[in-house]
Chains A and B, each alone.
Chain A
Amino acid sequence: MRSLGISVLSLTLTTIVIANAYYQKKQFYPSVVYITKSNPSMAVIYIQAFICVLIVGKIMRKIFFGQLRSAEFEHLMERSWYAITETCLAFTVFRDDFNPKFVALFTLLLFLKSFHWLAEDRVDYMERSPVISLLFHIRVLSLLLLLGSLDLHFIQHAYQSTVSKGASVQLVFGFEYAILLTVVINIAIKYALHSVDLNSETPWDNKAVFLLYTELIMGFIKVILYVAFVAIMVRIYTLPLFAFRPMYYTIRNFKKAFSDVILSRRAIYNMNTLYPDATPEELQAADNVCIICREEMTTASKKLPCNHIFHTSCLRSWFQRQQTCPTCRLNILRTPTSNNNEPRQDQRHRQVPPPNPFFNPFGGQNPFQMFGQNNQPQPQAQPAAAGAPSGAQNATNAPQANPNIPPFVFPPFPFMPFMAPPPMPPPNLQSLSPEELRRMEGNERQNVEARIQCLRNIQVMLDAAVVMMQQYSAAAALSSQAPGGEPQPGPSTSGTPPTCNGTTPKSPINLPTSSVINNNVESDSVPSTSTSSETPEATPTESVALTPEEEVRRRRLQKFQQAAEQ
C-alpha cells in the first residue's frame, strides 16, 4: 500500500515537472533542455526512474517467481544491503567517470544479481516442497535462460569495449557478469540434478556426490575469477575493496566444498572397505528401518562394528559430518571392526581349548611337562592391559603370530598353598567370548564397566604373581641357608616378571613349584626336578671338576635348552 502511494506520488511529481516544462517552453526540445538544466526537475526524474526500476523488478518477480516466500525475501534483503554497500565502494574507485549512465549500469547489475539470488533460492526450494508444478519448471527454465543470455551479452559487451577502448569500468562489469554466469550454470546443474531426482522412481543416492563436485568445480572457477579480477584491478586501478567480501566468501565456500569432498571420499572409502554389507537375515533380525531416513532398507545397507545397520547413502552423508554411529555414537574410526575379528577369535578358541589352571593344580598332567611348553601369557595380558578398544585387536593378532603354540598353562600358583594363599583367581581371560569382547568395545557405561572388570582381573593375576614371587624368594633364601643347598637361584632370577616371553622366567616359576611340592624348602628338590626330566648325560662328563652348585646350574641350563629345542 505504501509503495503504491509512493509510486503514485512520484508519478504525479513527474507529471507536474513535465507539464510545467512544457507549459513554459511550449515545444518538445526546449522543454527537455529546461528539465535537464534544472536540478530539482532532474531529481524528480531520477526518483521516477528508480521507482520504475522497482516496478519492473516487481513485475518480473511476479512473472518468474510468483509470491516470494518470507525466507527468500529476507535473504534477498540481507544480500541487497551488502551489494549496495559494495557498489558504493566501487563508485569511489571509478569516481572520475561517474555519470548517470554509469549509475544506471550498476543499478542494472544489482537488479540482475538479485534475480540470480532469487533463482538460487528457488531451485534450492525444489528439494523442500513435495509439490513442484509444471509452472515452476517453466518459470525456472525461462529465467535461467534469460539470465544466462543477459550475462553472456554483457560479458561480450565488456570484452569488446575493453579490447577496443582499453581498460575501463567495463572490466568490473565483465568480471561481475562472468561470476554471475558461473552462478547461473551452477543453478542450472542443480536444477537438472533435482529434476532428474524428482522424476526417478527410486531415491537417487549419488545426487549428493554430484552436488558436491558441482560445488567444488564452480567454487574453483569463481575463486580463479576473483583472484584474476583483483590482480588486474590492482595493476590498473587500485585495490578493489568492494570485491573483498564476496571474494572472501567465495574462497571460504570453496574451502568448505573441498573439505566436504575429502570427507565424503573418506567416508565412501571407509564404507567400502571397513564395513560389511548387511545380509538379508540381519535386516530381518533388525526392524529393517533405516533410522536416518526412516525408510525400509531393501537396497544397499551397511553394518557398523556396533551392529547398527543403515542405508549406505544415509551413512555416507552422516560420516561426512561425523565419524560416529548415529545410534550409539561409537567412534567408528577408532574401533576396529568386530566382524573381521570374529573368525579369528573363533579360530583361536578352537586352537586353544581353555584350560583353567587355577582350579586344576596338576591337571592330571606331569607338572614338569610345563617346561616344554612355551609360556605364552601375552595374548591374555594385552587386551586387558590396553583396555582401550584397540587392545581387542592386539588380542586377536598375537595368537596369529604363533599359530602352533601349545595350550597355554599358567604358571603354577596352586603349588604354593602353604604360605600366603594367592588371591582368588579371576575367570580365564583367554576364554573371552566374542560377546564379552564386544561388551568391552564402546563408550557406554556398561562397556567401560566391562573394561574395568577386565583390568581388575589382570590386577588379580599380577597380585598373584607378586605373591608367588615373594614366596619363591623366601624359599630361595631359606634354601641358600640350608647346608649344601643351592646358593643363589632366587636372587639371580626372581626379578624377572612371570609374564615375560622366552625361557628365562620358567626357572623361577618352576623351581619353587618343585620345592613346595616336596613341602620342605630343601635343596634336594632341585636335583629331583632335573633328574626326573631326562638329562642324565650332562652330569658325568664335567661334574668332576665342578662344585655341586655349578653342577646343578649346568644341568638346569641343559634342560632348558632341551625344552627350547622341543
Chain B
Amino acid sequence: MAGSALRRLMAEYKQLTLNPPEGIIAGPINEENFFEWEALITGPEGTCFEGGVFPAKLIFPPDYPLSPPKMQFTCEMFHPNIYADGRVCISILHAPGDDPMGYESSAERWSPVQSVEKILLSVVSMLAEPNDESGANVDAAKMWRENREEFNRIAERIVRRTLGIPT
C-alpha cells in the first residue's frame, strides 16, 4: 500500500479529473511523481485577467495534507498577492504558525480539510479580488489601489502573452 500522502493525492487527482471545476485543470506533471503538479487556471470572467490561461506549478510536501503545498505561477504575473517570481501568497497556503505578512487569522490557514481544488478556487477568486493589504508585490498593490487603469493595461498584456498573442 502506498503512503497516505500519495493515496490522498491520487484520490484528489481522480476527483479533479472526474468532476473538474470550471476553468481549472490540474494534475501531476509526470504520473510517476504525484508530488509535483501542473495547473492551468483561466482568468475569472469580468475581471482584468479575463480570458487568460495561467500555468502554475504545485509542489506538495511529503507530509501532505498535514502541510500545505507550494504554488508558483510559471508565467509572468502582475498581481498584489503574487510575488515577482510567481509564488502565490494566500492564507490558505500558509500553515498556522507562520504568517509572512502578519495579518492572517488562523481560521483561514491551511488545514487537512483543504484540497487542491479549494486552493485553485481560492486563487481564482484572488485573481478576481486582490487583497491589497498583503504586499507580496508591493508595486502591484500600489498600482491596484491608485492607478487601476494602468493595472488593467498590464494585466491585459499578461493575458495576451499567456495566449501567445503579440502585444
Q: Which residues of A pack against B, CB within 8 Å?
A: 69, 71, 124-125, 127-131, 194, 197-198, 200-204, 291-295, 313-314, 317-318, 321-322, 324, 326-327, 329, 443
Contacts and interface: CB of A to CB of B under 8 A. Distances in A.
A252 B65 CA distance: 24
Contacts of B6: 127-130
B35 A322 contact: no
B33 A293 contact: no
B1 A203 contact: yes
Given A291-B112, A329-B111, A127 B11 contact: no
Contacts of A127: 2-3, 5-6, 62
B113 interface: yes
22 contacts: A128-B3, A128-B5, A128-B33, A129-B34, A131-B31, A131-B32, A194-B3, A200-B1, A202-B1, A203-B7, A291-B112, A292-B113, A293-B8, A293-B11, A294-B7, A294-B8, A294-B11, A295-B7, A314-B4, A322-B96, A324-B96, A443-B107
B33 A318 contact: no
Contacts, number: 83
A294 B65 CA distance: 10
B46 to A, nearest CB: 30
Nearest to B5: A127
A79 B95 CA distance: 26
A326 B3 contact: no
B35 A128 contact: yes
Interface string B1-28: 1111111101110010000000000000
- Which of A129, A203, A204, A291 has its CB near the most chain B CB atoms (within 10 A)? A129
A329 B1 CA distance: 30
B106 interface: yes
B163 interface: no
A361 B35 CA distance: 71
B111 to A, nearest CB: 5
B3 A318 contact: no
B101 interface: no
A317 B4 CA distance: 11
Given A129-B32, A130-B6, A329 B66 contact: no
B33 A329 contact: no
Contacts of B67: 321
A130 B11 CA distance: 12
A253 to B, nearest CB: 15
A194 B106 CA distance: 34
Interface string B41-77: 0000000000000000000001101110000000000
B106 A329 contact: yes
B111 A124 contact: no
Given A127-B6, A129-B32, A326-B111, A294 B63 contact: no
B33 A69 contact: yes
A324 B109 CA distance: 12
B7 A293 contact: yes
B104 to A, nearest CB: 13
B2 A198 contact: yes
Contacts of B36: 71
A130 B10 contact: yes
A202 B36 CA distance: 25
B152 to A, nearest CB: 36
B8 A201 contact: no
A237 B130 CA distance: 60
A120 to B, nearest CB: 12
Given A131-B32, A318-B112, A321-B66, A201 B12 contact: no
Contacts of A202: 1
B62 A326 contact: no
A271 to B, nearest CB: 16
A201 B31 contact: no
Contacts of B8: 292-295
A317 B12 CA distance: 20
A284 B11 CA distance: 21
A317 B3 CA distance: 13
B1 A201 contact: yes
**Which 8 residue pairs are nearest across A and B when measured between Cβ atoms?**
A127-B3, A292-B112, A294-B11, A128-B35, A326-B112, A326-B111, A203-B1, A291-B113
B65 A198 contact: no
Contacts of B5: 127-128
A130 B63 contact: no
Contacts of A324: 96, 111
Contacts of A194: 3
Contacts of B10: 130
A313 B66 CA distance: 12
Contact of A295 (B11, B63, B95, B107): B11
A198 B1 contact: yes
A534 B84 CA distance: 90
Nearest to A128: B35
A130 B62 contact: no
Contact of B2 (A130, A317, A321, A326): A130
A127 B34 CA distance: 10
Contacts of A125: 33
Contact of A317 (B1, B11, B35, B63): B63
A278 B5 CA distance: 23
Given A124-B62, A200-B1, A329-B106, A130 B31 contact: yes
Contacts of B65: 292-293
Nearest to B12: A294
B72 to A, nearest CB: 14
A197 B111 CA distance: 26
A324 to B, nearest CB: 8
